[in-house]
Structure 1
Amino acid sequence: MTGTPAFVEPQEFTVDKLESGEVGGLNDFLALVKKGTPWRISTEHLIRLNGNSRRGKIVNQDINEKLKNRGLVCKPAVDNADYYGHVFISDPRDELPEPETVASLPISAFRGDWPTLISCGPEMSAKKTQTFMISDDLSQIPVLSQDKKTLHGVVTWRSIAQYRGNLDDAKAKDVMGPRSHVASSSDDFLDLVDTIIAQEFVLYRAPDGCVDGIVTASDLAQAFNGTAGIYIQLQELESRIRILLDKSPIPQLRGYLEPRRRDMSKFRGATDMMFGEYLAALEDKNIWNATGIELDQGVCINLLKKVRDVRNGVMHFSSGPDDETDLESSNKHAVTRALRILRATPLS
């Protein structure tokens, strides 16, 4: 008699294991994860094992690629996990308890590659605070107690402009604006959007009570601007590829599925193919000719390979500052170029 499958109890990756040197890096840790042996690890430790201190788009991509290479899953995804929470790393065939992070996108997922939140004490000179704002391109600096647990106020360009005294003699406490809402690191980002827009930023606390992170209206603008347009382009591009591929017989397309997927029941053609499988199929001269793309096959496929890299990299918001490399920028331009080619090809 078959009963309800029991959850597999994950092993705990502790601080002692991290500091002992027993596990040399992320690949060493991932080698420990096997079917029936999932692990629970703090998001911070996972990032540190990869040789990083904070998340960012490139760091997220690197970790996700290492997980993919070993056929492992991370829940919640490292991109979206609470920086101060935990994730489960497992073989996809294992059943696990639901992750403790309930927010669909915790505010701390926006934490970038800055080593610490830049803040000041109430007695710091206003001129010094102003200098940090200019040198580090900041629009606000929180004024915190020495233990970082009490927020006295926030120095902003507006609060400085509203000060009527002599800035040479003023301290941060004199030129700061009022205290603002401080979220918890695990609070859902979507619930805080209105607050971020209204007060132009939101600070958040780590589980130990320290004010340790900030998300600004500028961060939101960069995140949305960097992803919304490319999502729309990729959606159109993929839809066009599927229509063109479906000009070939289903058995011919099935031959380009990954080996583990070739026995898929009810295979419906290109709609059931992955992007890498599109590329493999388009390498076939007969399939290429059937698409009706009357341009150089090699140039077009090389463009689509760059599109694949972009597609793999923009499925989540960047959680750090603007860290797009020249290569990534070039690849995004390839999406526009590839889309022009597909738009020039009749779909019927």
Structure 2
Amino acid sequence: MTDSTVGDGAEESPGRASYLFEGRRVRVSDLVDAGVLAAGTQLTFRRKRSGEAHPARVTADGRIELSDGRRFKSPSTAAAAASGRGPFDGWTAWALDDGTLLDVLRQRLLDTVAEQPSSGGSSTDGSASRHARLKDARKQADADAPITLTVRDLLDWWGASRRGYLVSGQVSAELANHGLSTVPDFAAVGLDDRVALIGPSVDTEDEQEATAEQGAATEPEEATEPERARMTGAPGPTTTSDEAEEEDEDEPIQGQTVGNLPSALRGVESIASSASFEEAFTKMRLNGYSQLPVLNGPRNLQGAVTWESIALARHTDAKAPFSRAIVKAHAVSYSDHLIDVLTHLEQFGFLLVKDQTNRIAGIITIADVAAEYGATARPFLLIGDLDRQLRRVISEGLDLAEVIALCDPDGRRKLTSFDQLSYGDYQQVLSNQKQWDRLGWPLDRKPFTDRLNELREVRNELMHFNDKDKAGDAAVPMLRNMIELLRECGG
């Protein structure tokens, strides 16, 4: 932070409010810099069930220093290191001597920044409004009445319509600043799937011990994703210094996941293992299915029946019981990366999908994945064609020396041919009025180059594999129109 006088009524500065208005995560060092938390403050991570107390102190540079001298930027990493277990939400684990949690100080700092006079920009106003929404969401989550909404509606809080890398990072960071996360993960499901905004996790060890006491009486079907994460978390890190740049929360999921496929969480027709051939036949025919999962309860997967397995069972023994037609089926999590499940998909031909509570919530087939990758590949192919067409019209209509003078005036790039030009070079050349006039096209330069810039943004999203929500699909008509226009004007 560039200003340590938070709450003095002065006009807010971009640096001071960056964690609120630019979407980065609040750090312990922010609390120290703002004077909300003093260097040298003693902290304690007290285990409610076991009674263990792990002491620490806040350093001048905003680290949490354990009693053995290890220092951590992240409260969560510090808590896991102190106890040797985890994971923990460090913001609700560490408390001051008077019992005030770091989470309370973080919220106090966010509130102070949000209450400062607005600079009048729409971005600032939108951030303040979002802050109020997130505060309300946290309040409802703490009251065990979490807000549920579609991913599309959640993104709208940030004025976004899709999940590029920057947007996902901002959403994830601002949720974390308010002690919130989504179940299921907003980055791992479809835009129209619903997510719940939940609050911080509780003490992992306390829940593990409570669960152990309950023993087998605990019904596994009641376990939810956040509860499983709290009860089965991996041991904490053993790093002895702040060598690693830790973060308090996981980064948003990047790349396509199983849950991003439309059919993944759309529900699935199933049949019990005690069913008959006639029931299976009827359900498969009515729905046009090639396979049908066999479930004895929403999480008890027995396998599946297919037309092939039914035919083989009946061919082998005309009086065979239905159980003979049940073959092995494989289930994957909605949050698994799509590329990681392709081997299983190739083996089985279909995969059942588990939601955040481990229920079988959908099914994906080879056809679903082929359609997904086909849709992803289409704009890539068109971007390649656009690049070739732009290079062609420039190389055929303009002088190489003049083009190099525009694109590489100081000679640092050592351009010697049209083949070395980038998309940015094409824009540079076609935005130049003199070069545009040389082409002699019966077109207006400004809307043409404006469209080139729009397509550049799409191209960047695609080339960085950020196009989770298929912005490329929406751009396909624009790409085709531009390519066709270049063919007509360029001869």
Q: CA deviation at 1:151?
A: 1.4
Q: Distance in 2 between matches of 1:207 and 1:67?
A: 20
Superposition map of 1:15-26 within 5 A: none
What is the correspondence of 1:110-259 to structure 2 with a 5 Å cutoff? 110-112=261-263, 115-146=266-297, 148-164=298-314, 173-176=323-326, 178-237=327-386
Determine if contact 1:104/1:188 at 8 Å carries over to the other structure: yes
* SS of structure 2 residue aligned to 1:203: strand
CA contact (8 A) 1:126 1:167 kept: no
Distance 1:226 1:241 in 2: 24
Which residue in the other structure is 1:48 paired with? 150
Which residue does the alignment assign to 1:341? 485
CA distance in 2, matches of 1:119, 1:232: 39
Residues in 2 aligned to 1:45 and 1:291: alpha-carbon distance in whole angstroms: 59
Task: Show the 5 A alignment for 1:290-301.
Answer: 292=439, 294-297=441-444
CA 1:304–1:185 in structure 2 vs 1: closer, same or farther (change >3 Å)?
same
Equivalent in the alignment of 2:130: 32
* Counterpart residue identity of residue 175, structure 1: A
Counterparts of 1:291 and 1:79 in 2: how far apart (Å)? 47
Q: Deviations over 1:37-88 (max 9, x none)?
A: 8x8999x977536469xxxxxx99x9842789x9783349955469899999
TM-score when normalising by structure 2: 0.41
The answer to which of 288-297 and 1-10 deviates more is 1-10
Post-superposition shift, 1:32?
2.1
- Partner-residue secondary structure (3-state), 1:341: helix
CA RMSD of aligned residues (A): 5.9
Gaps of 5+ in 1: 12-27, 53-58, 89-94, 251-268
Bigger Rg, structure 1 or 2: 2
Q: TM-score, normalised by structure 1?
A: 0.55
SS at match of 2:369: helix
* Matched AA of 2:338: F
Other-structure match for 2:161: 65
Range with bigger deviation, 163-172 or 122-131: 163-172
1:84/1:200 CA distance change after superposition, 3 Å: farther
On the 8 A contact 2:305/2:325 being kept in 1, the answer is: yes
Residues in 1 aligned to 2:322 and 2:153: alpha-carbon distance in whole angstroms? 36
Identity across matched positions, percent: 17
Count residues with an aligned counterpart.
280
CA deviation after TM superposition for structure 1 residue 224, in Å: 1.2
Higher RCO, 1 vs 2 (CA within 8 Å, ≥6 residues apart): 1
1:15-45 deviations in Å (ceiling 9; x for gaps): xxxxxxxxxxxxx9994248x98x8999x97
CA distance in 2 between partners of 1:137 and 1:4 (Å): 61
CA contact (8 A) 1:7 1:97 kept: yes
Which residue among 53, 70, 74 is the counterpart of 2:171?
74
**Aligned-partner Cα distance in 2 for 1:310–1:290:** 27
Aligned equivalents of 1:109 and 1:182: distance in 2? 16
For 1:271, the equivalent position in structure 2 comes to 424
Q: Secondary structure at the match of 1:183?
A: strand
Amino acid of the structure 2 residue aligned with 1:179: K
Q: CA deviation at 1:161?
A: 2.6
**Structure 1: which amino acid aligns with 2:480?**
T
